[in-house]
Structure 1
Amino acid sequence: MDRVISISLGEVMLKGKNRKNFIDKIVGQVKRAIADIGYEKIFNDMGKIYILADYESFESIIKRVQHVFGIVYISPCIRIKRNSDEFEKAVLEVVKEAMEKNSDIKTFKAHTKRADKNYELKSMDVNNKIGGIVLKNTELKVDVHNPDLYVYCDVKEDIYFYTQRYKAHGGLPIGTNGRGLLLLSGGIDSPVAGFLMAKRGVQIDALHFHSYPFTSDRAEEKVHNLAKILSAYTGNLTIYSVNLLPIQKEINKNCPEDEMTIISRRFMMRIAEKISDKNGYNSIITGENLGQVASQTIDGLNVTNRITDRLIFRPLIGLDKVDIMDIAKKIGTYETSILPFEDCCTVFLPKHPSLKPRLSDIEKSEEPLNVEELVNNAISEMKIVKIKQEA
């Protein structure tokens, strides 16, 4: 009898012939996430991944593994051999541990999954065996409809008992759906957008625009801190930091005031596309939300889209702000995002921004600008920051 951590996979198990590649990705990311904690062995047993490690490290390992996409549940288990005489001992140990943690437990239900159909007992027989052990040795009663405690049993090459299931994020493992360049501001939305696309298997790096010295070093530091929080989910990431101020000054000098925001946004897309071309990103990710600000009306988004043929992901496009804030709180970015430091979008902000820009009008307004030179100069001056995965 020994202690292991079981990892339940979600939609990865539906991938057919590609399943092994997805599982290998998850195993690799689990190994990286817990490398500094240490473990004895990671192995597969009929559809689940298991970690054999020091029991004292289980809590730390579970917290790390919860951030690995592709995983839906994590459980600390007791494992016994199929022919072991420790069945009763293992059942009582997981049940008594659960009761020690929660004195309100009065009822239970056994729940068996028999992955190996060659096992001599059927699932119902295993449930009855577990139930008899618990009823004989504790004061718990059976409740098959609304139990206080589930006693889980997985019958595979070995047999695993557990009572706890820690929820993870699901999704797909990082790197299985290409690479994306996230336009990362210091606000609430863009970190959530990055998280959601990483959850779909996109490898994330970030592009941040500032307007130094109109924006402060503290504002830049805030973005780096957001990236560090994101890195717990995405792994190591790179931030391309671009000063937009020279471009904003030229727009302010040569273009109508009400078009300032949308033209600035188009320059951001030009810069994102050029960085993507050079570094192999096949998508751009933004935190835009339909109708939230002036540049995010349907007309504004349409005019911005015309800059690039590259796929633009806007995972927040139809979410309510409250929904976005809830996700930000859940992933740990919210408190940093609301720190009161300015960002580049507040510089030269028009009093009455255009809500229904037309492409022909915007293109005409941009004619006095040396677009290519402005973009190239901004990229030539950009700084690159490497963020290591946050433990």
Structure 2
Amino acid sequence: MPVASDVVVLRYHEIALKGRNRPFFVRRLAEHVERLCADLPVGPVSRASARLLLPLHDPAAWPTARARLGRVFGLANYTLAHEVRLAADPGESLARVGDTVLAHLAGQSVRSFRVATKRSDKRFPLTSPEVNRVLGARIQAATAAPVDLEAAALTVGLDILPGRAFVSLEKVRIDSPVAAWRMMRRGCRVDFVHFHSVPFLDRTSQEKARELARLLAEWELEAELFFVPFGEVQRQIVVAVPRPLRVVLYRRMMIRIAEVLARQHGAEALVTGESLGQVASQTLGNLAVIGAATVMPILQP
């Protein structure tokens, strides 16, 4: 299967109404984006079906690029996506898309999800609802996550263009930051631990963790952020443990590592964003097994 590459998909609005002057305005917009990101690891801007495409060679630069693009007039929205080359057969094309999605979700717990498809290439044989159903079934079979069309924790966005598709994964999860903030409100000094999967996945999660820690530190003025490489641990668990038990073992290992860090730095308790019944894996039995990995108090505000 061709390797998916990272690209920022930019959509514009008003300039699409400029009639015969439209190419001039689109060109000026593309030039502005290129100048704004000239010092970042990006490729030249290209055009595709009322979109601009900005190749991103290093996902770690995404937070900086995102902040800069937010100051560009004329852009309606933009997202970091993964480009997938499509095959002549629609079934094979969706298999490639599914492989890309599942590769980026490997080792992660998905609380709920939905698929949102935009079929810009109307020659693609399947309609958007049909694509949603086929891709959704593949994701659900692999993750056992429920579909939630109204308030999904993960939105899988799919843009289908001639010969290629762009896949984006938009997550909504703030359980741990909210738990940390609630402890701060109670007068507790909180430090942060982030478990990442580099080099198996990109550094996007690390940048998000830094930004969340920066925002939370404004409430207590001083905090430390610890990064723990967890990808190899996940890999070994995947190899040796059946799928239904993996999430619990991931959590137990995280708790054990967090306890070591806590004792090294004088902390008296651990704080997590878990809550009984909030996701399928957070049953009373699972939470008890996870909590048994440490003798330190685990606070779940």
TM-score after normalising by structure 2? 0.49
TM-score after normalising by structure 1? 0.38
Rg larger for: 1
Q: Which structure exhibits the higher relative contact order, with contacts defined as CA atoms closer than 8 Å and separated by 6 or more residues?
A: 1
